[in-house]
Structure 1
Amino acid sequence: MKLIDRLERKFGRYAITNSTIYLIAAQTLFLVLIMMGKLDRSQIYFTADKLFQGEWWRLATFLFDPPIQNPLFAFFAWYLFYLMGSALEELWGAFRYNLFLLLGYCLMVAASFVTPAYPVSNAFIGGSVFLAFAFLFPDFQLLLFFVLPVRVKWLALITWLGYGYLCLVGGWSTRMMVLASVGNFLIFFARDIKLTFKHGKRQMVKRATATVVRNDQPFHCCTVCGITDKSHPKMDFRYCPECEGQYCYCTEHIFNHKHVKK
């Protein structure tokens, strides 16, 4: 995105590296304080009502609210957050990852002003990190219940269905939080999603109008290395929104190629 590129050139030097680790460290500290009885969770969650009462510290402390009070399950939640957050930072760079988190934070806080009494949960911000990771690495496998290997794209699909269910059965406060939680994802990946659907529609038209289609004819071919969906059926292919034209790349080169400019 050109806007993000301009922002990175101007403010990139202020980016915070390893921000995922800092968030996990702060949440770990808060969990220890809660377990020791030194801190009450009611003191750290954020609602706009509390902010209007002068409790401004909640703007920061809700980010450090541990995902769950059980240390074992909290550890696995932090492990997944570290795995996915670090992967996004390595792929995008610290500035873009910081911007993704900051955008999610701002949208969640803004949504809270629409529903002042509804508490903001940092779980939604972690959810947006998961959705971004699943979009970029759809074939990455997780061991469900430590036994069953599942690709993250299917878990992401379940997450999207869950968000849709919350929008259908929940109140306006829940709907606002769900929309805010996926807002940063939609802003970052809008062009990619549009190109994916656009290319898919073109392929459907071609398949419907073609009179003869060879079974070995590939539909996707990486512009850099030349591999196809036939030679590598498990490989994902995407179309670069920065290149001028329909240029296809495999997952190894979608973020590692020279953009084609006419």
Structure 2
Amino acid sequence: MTSALRAAPLALLMLTAAPTAFAQDWSGPQAPTAPTAQNTPLALPRALPPIPEPTAETYPGVIRYEVDATDVERKIVRVRQTIPVAAGPLVLLYPKFLPGNHAATGPIQLLSGVTATGGGQRIEWLRDTIDPYAFHFDIPQGVSEIQVEFQWLTQPDNSTWRVVMTPEMLNLQWEKALLYPAGYRSTGITFQPSIRLPEGWSYGVAMDTVSFENGLATFAPTDLYTLIDSPLFGGAHYRRVDIDP
């Protein structure tokens, strides 16, 4: 009987307090919030021109293409491209459709840290709003070449991506680790590639070698079409077999 008497005031207290709690939690339907400068997404810093369609013209100049493949422990390929340019809009593309593939499978999600400089200043880029494989640049007056640097994260995890880099071997498919100017056919863009390999490594590739010293291999200029068709295989264990002695 005593317990029942004690429980009654407690139940009464809870019932009296409940409306107050409900009044604090329930504020009723909210009117739509009008857009303000604080909650409206910012517009692009500048209007983006259309991506140029490929033409039969030749891209002016040679793109110096330097690859550093020495970070084999983390499986990262570092790239530096020196690209001749003129003032005005420039679009660089990451390869979207790859040889032997039947869809837009270019692994752009493995591209990291894209930066560009020219004339002693940083040049900002904007991603195309429709094609994520396109990067827009606005080249300032007086800048005749830009340096574009980025990393290709060949295997950010150990289960999803094809193994192309280990502490003992490298399979470099150039198209996975380059950018090229829009508006030109692949046969009309000339690259001069070079690659730095880990100490003691050798390599094989279907391109003419200009020099190979202290782990740095430099190749003769070639068009983008041929470069993509000439993957490089390198490694710590290498043997060359002459099939036409």
TM-score (norm. length: structure 1): 0.20
Larger Rg over CA atoms: 2
> Does 1 or 2 have the higher relative contact order (CA < 8 Å, sep 6+)?
2
Question: Which structure shows the higher helix fraction?
Answer: 1
Question: Which structure shows the higher strand fraction?
Answer: 2
